[in-house]
A and B are shown apart, each in its own frame.
Chain A
Amino acid sequence: QSALTQPASVSGSPGQSITISCTGTSSDVGGYNYVSWYQQHPGKAPKLMIYDVSNRPSGVSNRFSGSKSGNTASLTISGLQAEDEADYYCSSYTSSYTRVFGGGTKLTVL
């Protein structure tokens, strides 16, 4: 159950777009379309932003989008806003019937 690999940090200026990658294996990210992304502000519970690779829950801004290619999933945030500054985690279902998270990426809005 090794964690998925995410960059430790990314940054961007307001209005710009950023992409966070999430790399796994064929036993998790690459094998299933059950990749999800979570946003977590300090001291708060995580919030679901993307499910099933590219679907947005009701109420989540369309500035957030997800995709997958092979064993790597990606979260793109367009039109960066100050409120987007947070930690982001990817997660995937695995062939062992478990779930695995990425190590998390700290997004800084410059």
Chain B
Amino acid sequence: EVQLVESGGGLVKPGGSLRLSCAASGFTFSSYSMNWVRQAPGKGLEWVSSISSSSTYMYYADSVKGRFTISRDNAKNSLYLQMNSLRAEDTAVYYCARDRGQLIRDAFDIWGQGTMVTVSS
């Protein structure tokens, strides 16, 4: 079964850091670009970051640029999001999502169940 499972969410103080992980299974992870998408409570979806299949290209939303870093380990079938200098407005459910193909432009065809990040003092 094709599956993405996020972990690493939790409660963190403003200015703090957190590292999210996404474990992939059931498909050839190294053949797909991957993404992080977030959803603040009661709000819509917001694209956060994308990484190409071989980590050559990485892109970020302006709202997180310079604070968040996306990475992947194809040997471990895992995607990561290092989040630094966290703000209250980063509070959201963070989803890991697979691109339909290698190109960072396609639709998100597989989603994880999400992990909640709460930034509060």
Residues of A within 8 A of B (CB): 1, 3, 32, 34, 36, 38, 40, 45-48, 51-52, 57, 87, 89, 91, 93, 96-104
Given contacts A1-B62, A45-B112, A46-B95, contact A38 B45 (CB under 8 A): yes
A37 to chain B, nearest CB (A): 9
> B106 touching A34 by the CB < 8 A rule?
yes
CB distance B107 to A34 under 8 Å? yes
With A45-B95, A45-B114, A46-B95 as known contacts, state yes or no: A99 contacts B47, CB within 8 Å. Answer: yes
Chain A residue contacts of B108, Cβ below 8 A = 36, 38, 46, 48, 91
B59 within 8 A of partner (CB): yes
Could you list 18 A-B pairs, sorted by A, with CB under 8 Å?
Answer: A1-B62, A1-B63, A32-B105, A34-B107, A36-B107, A45-B95, A46-B37, A48-B107, A87-B44, A91-B45, A91-B107, A96-B59, A97-B104, A98-B60, A98-B61, A99-B50, A101-B37, A101-B47
B107 touches A52 (CB 8 A): yes
